[in-house]
A = this chain, B = another copy of it.
Amino acid sequence: MINPDIHEILDGHKPLGGVNVGRVMDVLIVASAIAIALETMPQLPGYLRNFLLSFEIFLLVIFSIEYLVRLTTAPRPLRYAFSFWGIIDLLSIAPAIALLTPQWLVVRTFRLLRLVRLLKLFRGSHAMERLVVAFRQVRGELLVFGVIAGLMLYVSAVGIYIFEHDAQPEVFASIPDSLWWAVASFTTVGYGDMFPITPGGKIFTTIVLFIGLGVIAVPSAIVTAALLESETNIQRRIREAAESTDD
């Protein structure tokens, strides 16, 4: 077995003995993310906590082996070690080592580094490329409408602060507090922790909501539209590349 083959197996492009190793690694990464989430539950019984610790050690061994295999079989090991995916692979095993020494003070935040493993899900798939392409495509548009949406949020926050501050000095305590109301209202999430109670504040909210929802929806609509079109664009590029090769 030659080295590039091993990389293709680990990336999930080639099966090994009928098993898609890359897919198995993806499942382990997702299982790792679920384990990280479960660990934070305070009511977790002791035996499950021990199981999760064992699972983390198991993952550490697996990802360490993967890292060593990739490093030793890479055509140019140093280049891999300092490549984007090489650093991600190293970072995804480093926190596990920290996990094993719970005395260490910075261990808690350091453990979150395990989440970089999630990025490995995108290796060898087109999903990452699609996201990057979609965002790059609409970068300019997004910036302009992001600024306009930001201004509208700010002006709405100032307005509601003027109308509601005297009636609810604790709730609409300052303009930054009112900005939080503007975010929750214009995204239509509406948590219900802040809402106008004065007639003026309600009329102001009605007016800015109806004018502003269309404006605020633009950045999200741009992202949605770009993502919906992104695959088409990649396919178009591939087709165009194929056509230019055919000629």
A91 on interface, CB distance cutoff 8 Å = no
Considering only residues 125-162 of chain A, those with a C-beta below 8 Å from chain B are 127, 130-131, 141, 144-149, 151, 154-155, 157-158, 161-162
**For the complex formed by this chain, how many copies does it contain in all?**
4
The reply to whether B175 and A36 contact each other, CB–CB distance below 8 Å, is yes
Q: In the complex, which residues of chain B have a beta carbon less than 8 angstroms from the beta carbon of A112?
A: 158, 162
The size class of the interface chain A forms with chain B is 35 or more
Q: In the complex, which residues of chain B have a beta carbon less than 8 angstroms from the beta carbon of A98?
A: none
A42 on interface, CB distance cutoff 8 Å = yes
Task: Name the distance in Å between A175's Cβ and chain B's nearest Cβ.
Answer: 4
CA distance A173 to B228 in the complex (A): 36
Considering only residues 193-231 of chain A, those with a C-beta below 8 Å from chain B are 193, 195, 199, 202, 205-206, 209-211, 213-215, 217-225, 227-228, 231
CA distance A83 to B10 in the complex (A): 43
Pick from B121, B154, B155, B215: contact of A147, CB under 8 Å = B121
CA distance A98 to B142 in the complex (A): 37
CA distance A121 to B152 in the complex (A): 13
Indicate the member of A115, A151, A222 with the most B CB atoms within 10 Å. Answer: A151
Pick from B161, B183, B188, B215: contact of A205, CB under 8 Å = B183
A192 on interface, CB distance cutoff 8 Å = yes
Considering only residues 108-127 of chain A, those with a C-beta below 8 Å from chain B are 109, 112, 115, 118, 121, 127
Q: In the complex, which residues of chain B have a beta carbon less than 8 angstroms from the beta carbon of A175?
A: 36-38, 40-41
Name 20 A/B residue pairs within 8 A (Cβ), A-sorted.
Answer: A37-B174, A37-B176, A37-B179, A38-B176, A40-B165, A40-B173, A40-B175, A40-B176, A41-B174, A42-B173, A42-B174, A118-B155, A127-B144, A146-B210, A180-B202, A191-B192, A192-B192, A214-B221, A215-B223, A217-B224
- The chain A residues found within 8 Å of chain B, CB to CB, are 33, 36-38, 40-42, 109, 112, 115, 118, 121, 127, 130-131, 141, 144-149, 151, 154-155, 157-158, 161-162, 165, 173-177, 179-180, 183-185, 187-193, 195, 199, 202, 205-206, 209-211, 213-215, 217-225, 227-228, 231
